[in-house]
């Protein structure tokens, strides 16, 4: 990246992605990124030339055993206290940002406890010289009325912040190191692809750009909160929104791209994936293609009461996907979350054939002029699974070596 990072010791891209926009804006200032080890060992005192040090660790994986998480949380808090004590003048902690684990379900108490145990942390340490961060330069570029003090880090590692514009309106800023999975440019392209009809429920893209090696997008702030549950009515409402997504000429290319990605990432399973997908691929050839959101689950919906009023987080969109794959994702992920099971296990139950799914989506299929025959629904099931696994492999490349994850999500489907 362009920013001047003198010391870079980030074990994972996620930490680096979030830390990069916090590096100094000016090339004559020096930044340092240090990702702590699992023992939360304190960094050595910053060298005199360092203007900004970002130190910490990302959150622990959701399946971390409780005893391990409790120990890690204690070490984390002691380390933050230790860092406060260890820093000598001119260094001082400017901000401590908690890196929450993903909130899979709506449950404030449960999520609070999980955050306490699993959270990571990102500490901004500043030296004696006033140093503007890349994030401040971005805030200036987007017309914000000041520097960004409060933000959260998305699951991919992007900085997410509500920023006040000079005209007093609010906007939603995403920023991350360019070309990383957290790079928000793809999400911005998705928003730009939406027709005006979607403006009432999808964010409007207000701006995008690159500032010193970090990409950013600015979008309108939508009202509402995450819905507590996904009901049949939720799916019916979302299906009406999905009908406003643009269709494309010719059949879906998303399935083929996703299958290609799976075969490359999992070469020893490529032949079995091909066997599973061949009949679905033939059926998809005869179906229209539509834009997909690509990660349509309750965490990316906004609701006011029972009314779904927003869909956010468009980074996994595709212009030519298989119709119905977003709706199946919404339905099946909710089932997986409600029962604590893996996606592959839910797939085996053929959720696309369940009366609840068929009832909630009947209006969608008839609006598209498609009869939801079993062979079409099964093809939607394969397309949905391929997109979800390909998305996971892209976002979390390490899962390809996680035998348990592969068994429950890939082998369970391949049989
Ligand atoms: N345009 C927007 N308007 C209002 N709220 C938004 C907007 N975009 C995102 N949000 C809020 O921020 C949250 C996180 O955003 P997003 O889903 O895009 O990121 P993420 O990487 O999935 O992060 P997280 O793990 O926190 O969900 C959303 O669940 C939503 O509550
Ligand atoms: Mg999200």
Over the stretch 164-194, which tens digit does the pLDDT of each residue have?
A: 998 899 999 999 999 888 999 999 999 999 9
Query: Which ligand is nearest the CA of 187, by number?
Result: 1
- The verdict on residue 293 lying in a domain is yes
Q: Which residue bears the tokens 């900004």?
A: 52
What value does the mean pLDDT take over residues 303-324?
97
DSSP 310: E
For ligand 1, atom 1, the nearest C-alpha belongs to 221
Pair 212, 255 in one domain? no
Pair 181, 291 in one domain? no
- The verdict on residue 67 lying in a domain is yes
Instruction: Specify the pTM.
Output: 0.93
Please name which of 102, 220, 98, 233 lies closest in space to residue 163, comparing C-alpha atoms.
220
* Boundary of a domain, candidates 168, 195, 220: 220
Over the stretch 103-159, which tens digit does the pLDDT of each residue have?
A: 888 888 889 999 999 999 999 999 989 899 999 999 999 989 877 889 999 988 899
What value does the mean pLDDT take over residues 311-337?
97
Q: What's the domain count of the chain? A: 2
Q: How confident is the model at residue 219 (pLDDT cuts 50, 70, 90)?
A: very high
Please say whether the beta carbons of 217 and 188 come within 8 A: yes
Distance 300 CA to ligand 2 centre (A): 5
* Boundary of a domain, candidates 220, 250, 276: 220
Q: Is the dihedral of CA 126, 127, 128, 134 positive or negative?
A: negative
Ligand 1 atom closest to 187 (CA): 18
* Boundary of a domain, candidates 153, 187, 220: 220
Distance 330 CA to ligand 2 centre (A): 13
Pair 266, 380 in one domain? yes
- The verdict on residue 144 lying in a domain is yes
- The verdict on residue 226 lying in a domain is no
Q: Which residue bears the tokens 């290319």?
A: 253
Distance 116 CA to ligand 2 centre (A): 20
Pair 190, 111 in one domain? yes
What CATH number is given to the structural domain containing 316?
3.90.1200
Pair 305, 328 in one domain? yes
Pair 167, 292 in one domain? no
Q: How many CB atoms lie within 10 A of CB 162?
A: 14
Distance 78 CA to ligand 2 centre (A): 31
Burial 295-312 (b: 16+ CB within 10 A, else e): bbbbbbbbbeeeebbbbb
Query: pLDDT exceeding 70 applies to what percent of the chain?
Result: 97
- Would you state the pLDDT for residue 146? 79
Please name which of 172, 180, 177 lies closest in space to residue 151, comparing C-alpha atoms.
172
For ligand 1, atom 2, the nearest C-alpha belongs to 221
Pair 245, 314 in one domain? yes
Domain with 278 in it: 232-414
Pair 167, 236 in one domain? no
Over the stretch 45-58, which tens digit does the pLDDT of each residue have?
A: 777 889 999 999 99
- The verdict on residue 127 lying in a domain is yes
Pair 165, 197 in one domain? yes
Is the pLDDT reported for residue 102 higher than 70? yes
Ligand 1 is surrounded, with C-beta below 6 A, by 102, 154-156, 160, 172, 203, 219, 221-222, 226, 299-300, 312-313
Q: How far apart are CA 297 and CA 295, in angstroms?
A: 6
- The verdict on residue 227 lying in a domain is no
Over the stretch 263-303, which tens digit does the pLDDT of each residue have?
A: 999 999 999 999 999 999 999 999 999 999 999 999 999 99
Please name which of 100, 105, 97 lies closest in space to residue 117, comparing C-alpha atoms.
100
- Would you state the pLDDT for residue 181? 85
Pair 216, 253 in one domain? no
Query: Which ligand is nearest the CA of 155, by number?
Result: 1
Q: How far is CA 246 from the centre of its chain?
A: 23
Pair 214, 243 in one domain? no
Distance 154 CA to ligand 1 centre (A): 7
- Strand, coil or helix: 154: coil
Pair 262, 379 in one domain? yes
């Amino acid at each position: 990246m362009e920013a001047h990072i003198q010391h870079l010791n980030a074990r994972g891209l996620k930490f680096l992605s979030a830390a990069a926009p916090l590096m100094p804006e000016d090339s004559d200032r020096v930044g340092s990124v240090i990702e702590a080890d699992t023992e939360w060992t304190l960094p050595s005192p910053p060298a005199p030339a360092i203007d900004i040090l970002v130190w910490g660790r990302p959150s622990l994986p959701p399946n971390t055993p409780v005893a391990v998480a409790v120990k890690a949380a204690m070490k984390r808090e002691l380390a933050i206290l230790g860092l406060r004590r260890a820093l000598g003048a001119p260094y001082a902690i400017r901000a401590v940002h908690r890196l929450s684990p993903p909130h899979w379900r709506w449950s404030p108490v449960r999520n609070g406890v999980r955050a306490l145990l699993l959270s990571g942390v990102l500490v901004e340490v500043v030296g004696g010289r006033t140093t503007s961060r890349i994030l401040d330069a971005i805030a200036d570029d987007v017309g914000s009325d000041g520097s960004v003090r409060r933000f959260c880090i998305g699951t991919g590692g992007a900085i997410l912040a509500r920023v006040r514009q000079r005209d007093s309106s609010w906007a939603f800023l995403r920023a991350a190191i360019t070309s990383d999975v957290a790079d928000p440019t793809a999400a911005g392209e998705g928003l730009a692809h939406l027709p005006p009809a979607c403006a009432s429920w999808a964010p409007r893209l207000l701006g995008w750009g690159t500032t010193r090696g970090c990409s950013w997008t600015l979008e309108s702030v939508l009202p509402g909160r995450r819905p507590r549950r996904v009901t049949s009515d939720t799916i019916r409402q979302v299906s009406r929104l999905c009908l406003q997504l643009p269709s494309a000429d010719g059949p879906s290319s998303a399935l083929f791209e996703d299958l290609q990605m799976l075969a490359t990432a999992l070469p020893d399973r490529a032949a079995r994936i091909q066997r599973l997908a061949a009949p679905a691929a033939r059926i998809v050839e005869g179906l229209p293609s539509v834009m997909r959101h690509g990660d349509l689950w309750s965490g990316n919906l906004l609701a006011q009461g029972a009314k779904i009023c927003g869909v956010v987080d468009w980074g996994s969109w595709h212009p030519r996907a298989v119709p119905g794959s977003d709706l199946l994702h919404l339905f099946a992920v909710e089932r997986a979350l409600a029962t604590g099971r893996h996606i592959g296990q839910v797939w085996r139950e053929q959720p696309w054939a369940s009366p609840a799914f068929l009832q909630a989506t009947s209006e969608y299929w008839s609006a598209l002029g498609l009869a939801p025959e079993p062979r079409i629904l099964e093809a939607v099931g394969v397309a949905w699974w391929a997109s979800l696994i390909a998305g996971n492999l892209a976002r979390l490349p390490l899962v390809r070596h996680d035998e348990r994850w592969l068994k429950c999500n890939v082998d369970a489907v391949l049989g």
